[in-house]
Chains A and B, each alone.
Chain A
Amino acid sequence: MTADVRADVVVVGGGPAGLTAAADLARTCRVVVLDREQQAGGIPRHSDHPGYGLRDLRRVLSGPEYARRLVAAAQDAGADVRTGWTVTGWAGERTLEVTSPAGRLTATGGAVVLATGARERARPARLVAGDRPAGVLTTGQLQQLVHLQHRSPGTRAVVVGSELVSWSAVLTLREAGCRTVLMTTDRPYGEAYAGLRMPASAGLRVPLLTRARVARVVGREQVEAVELEEVGTGRRRTVECDVVVFTGGWIPDHELVRLGGLDLDPATLGPRVDPALRTSSDGVFAAGNLVHPVDTADVCALDGRHVAAAVRRWLEAPRQPGAGVELAAEPPLRWVAPSVWRPGEPGPARGRLLLWPEERVLAPVLVAVQGGRQVGRVRLPWPAVPGRVLRVPSSLVSGVRADAGPVRIALG
């Protein structure tokens, strides 16, 4: 029988957020990182193109190289990174149930950091009708297929979505010798391309079909085509392909949040957190794309650094503050993270509120309204683009009062 695990901090999830938190915390306390994959590193492991590490490591790396460095940094700092360890539930306060080749056991921490990330909604969750052939993938599945298993996805692909991750899928397809014959989005314009920090992007010529949704998948054994419908007119066309990649449509991997009864943010579907990344449960923190589905890997990593400071404060003096002030985003903003504000406490990671815009606005003005009164206003020099997190200085809510009710954040 293998012994149960005890540590000062148990981190669930060995991606950029979890590993960076672990590297920081391991300088002063005993940290165990539990990662269910055979290799830690998270999503960047299989995103084999440059664009990683800019904000946290101050350099541009490929995904796999970035993942390796994060793992090495955590281990060098003394963190115990256990791969192939799957957390399946809670066994008590800050105690997790774990299945591993070493046995079925528990892991208990003085603090727990949830950094389980997010996944793309697969085709069934999008309720796309039609046959169920092989060749229908998400970006994550495609990249594991190509970069971890070195398999070929097919020859002609339709990529659904035009977010950052969609271009990541196009790059992967190209590397695997599969041509992207069409990229399609239900929005009136393509997104994120301008913001793509990938040297290769200049060479990507992919036809983009806007205002279209995938109505049907055709093909009994292998994908043969997709049927697309023009939004508004209902006009249909069929595009032949043997691969369809559904990209974006992120949902946090929130199973532990829900099984643990932690407050769930109905907008992000991740745990509700405050600027220190505390959840509603004593000594349980959350960081990375579990909290904001999804921002770039380096922003997640900096979350990890931010949460480390809060975890350290908790370990020194385990006190959970009161309720805080609720922040809520108004359409066309879908969510805001953090969604709990604490006047008088230090601000969020990087001094930014993260918001998810559903419409494109060139120079957005954001307002914060509390109790019918505008308490903050910020004009941004950068645009709001759907499919990308809008990062807003938290000075927007510095005028929020502790006793004046919830705060709405809207476009002004």
Chain B
Amino acid sequence: MSDVLEVDVAVVGGGIVGCAVARELAGRDVSVALVEARGDVGDATSKANTAILHTGFDAVPGSLESRLVARGYALLSAYAEQAGIPVERTGALLVAWDDEQLDALPGLRAKAEKNGYTRTRLVGADEVYARVPALGPGALGGLEVPDESIVCSWTAALAYATEAVHRGAHLLLRHRVSAIEVGPARTLLTTDRGAVSARWVVNAAGMGADVLDRMLGFDRFTVVPRRGELIVFDKLARPLAPTIVLPVPSSLGKGVLVSPTVYGNVMLGPTAEDLDDRSDTSTSEQGLSSLLEKGRRIMPSLLDEEVTTTYAGLRASTEHSDYVVDVDAGMRYVLLGGIRSTGLTASMALAEHVVGLMESAGEPLAERPGLPPVPRMPMIGEAFPRPYADAARIAADPEYGRVVCFCERATAGEIRDALYSTIPPTDLDGLRRRTRALMGRCQGFFCGAEVARLLEDGGR
């Protein structure tokens, strides 16, 4: 028997939610292990999010999701400023393209008010076009949601996990949980790389949350992987999309959005398609062609721009309309299931909620004094000063003046920093998420080989 790691709380799942929970708990009087099956944090559902920081204006009023999204918006907005997570308050504009959608706008405004969000505004067609001149013909009106924002979901997950580790949490990557045994005082989690013994288990396993829940003897929900495909357009397209252009949900389905990204691109998507395979993140011919068809109507000139990348993400949808969150005091077990794409916004509120649930179950979670400062993450947002453009920084360390990825202006200094960070990348994808290297329009035509070499040689 290999060694067993003993902790007070094991958080299973290193996505955005699990990382937020681990960070929160690690700041309290308990020891924490963050147990992740994959080789990096935020590497599954979290990395292929539409990366919108939601006000929660369109949530189901009265739901847990509504409450936690609103609270999470405030918490993450504040945290982002401290940690250097890129956020841009671009606002959003729901655009109505037919009478049914136009008629639905006042109802959406009323719904927003029920969700406690009072700053929406109905606007006429002329104002819609004034706001987004590149929209295709036929827009009849819109609803403005000025506080919807775009955010970097990767940096958020990485910041949480980094701070969790700084606070003493054990980060166990490549530890896939294969069995769980609940004892009277401790629960034993068997993974493919040794076991973890914990008094409490928090299930934040995302796409696998129902499987883990069943391992613990429950049968209360099933995760259906819902694939969302996205097309990312070149940065030169960014002026076309000054704000998030949202569809109005109607009898024809949800439609797709056109959104700026914090990296300075424009995103078109997502599709919505229920799959059987929980690991299938391939794009499909039908998906991409349907996006192009919809995009052509929403913003015809966007389609003249070059495509930088396409990708697909899986959302953890369930048969329930709300998050599936519960605590079992006897088993010392918290379930965070069915956290769909709003989980990015709600992440810190979910963490706070977990603390409340555990405390109500009799677990004292006193805040620890003398916590380390919030980590300052490498800035990869386009709207913020980045090292390549920072004269003082280059003067102090010329490696920040050595641009490796020309399209994204990622420098050798940033790549080195990532490789020596608290949670270093283990592969090219991880390095890309941390530095933007390889993310750009040439997709490695110029720098692919050099970036791969730097990863192997430790950034030298």
Contacts and interface: CB of A to CB of B under 8 A. Distances in A.
Interface of A: 1, 36-37, 84, 86, 88, 99-105, 119-125, 127, 129-132, 134, 137-138, 140-141, 144-145, 148-149, 151, 215-216, 220, 251, 255, 258
Contact of A120 (B307, B394, B399, B445): B445
Contact of A251 (B288, B306, B390, B406): B306
Contact of A124 (B309, B391, B446): B309
B394 A104 contact: yes
A1 B391 CA distance: 8
Contacts of B401: 99-104
B285 A216 contact: yes
Tell me the interface secondary structure of chain B in the complex.
Answer: mixed
B397 to A, nearest CB: 9
A148 B232 CA distance: 30
Contacts of A141: 444-445, 448-449
A36 B391 contact: no
A84 B406 CA distance: 10
Q: Which of B232, B411, B448 has the most CB of A within 10 A?
A: B448
Nearest to B387: A99
Contact of B395 (A86, A103, A255): A103
A125 B391 CA distance: 34
Q: Which of A124, A141, A151 has the most CB of B within 10 A?
A: A124
Contacts of B285: 129, 215-216
Contact of B394 (A88, A103, A220): A103
A144 B450 contact: yes
Contacts of B428: 134
Contacts of A99: 388-389, 394, 401, 403, 409, 411
Contact of A122 (B311, B394, B443, B450): B443
User: Which 7 residue pairs across A and B have the least CB separation, nearest first?
Assistant: A122-B443, A144-B449, A101-B398, A104-B391, A86-B403, A101-B401, A140-B445
Q: Which of B282, B288, B452 has the most CB of A within 10 A?
A: B282
B288 A132 contact: no
Interface residues of B, number: 44
Given A99-B409, A149-B453, A122 B445 contact: yes
A221 B279 CA distance: 12
Contact of A129 (B279, B283, B309): B283
B409 A127 contact: no
B403 A149 contact: no
B402 interface: yes
Given A99-B401, A104-B401, A138 B445 contact: yes
Interface string B279-305: 101111101100010000000000000
B236 interface: yes
B435 to A, nearest CB: 15
Given A132-B281, A145-B448, 4 more contacts: A37-B446, A99-B403, A100-B401, A144-B450
Contacts of A84: 402-403
Contacts of A144: 446, 448-450
Contacts of A151: 449, 452
Contacts of B441: 125
Contacts of A216: 282, 285
B449 A148 contact: yes
Contacts of B389: 88, 99, 104
Q: Which of B281, B443, B448 has the most CB of A within 10 A?
A: B443
A148 B450 CA distance: 9
A258 B390 CA distance: 23
Given A36-B403, A86-B403, A101 B394 contact: yes
B190 interface: no
B310 interface: yes
Contacts of A255: 236
Contacts of B284: 129
Nearest to A84: B402
Contacts of B7: none
A124 B394 contact: no
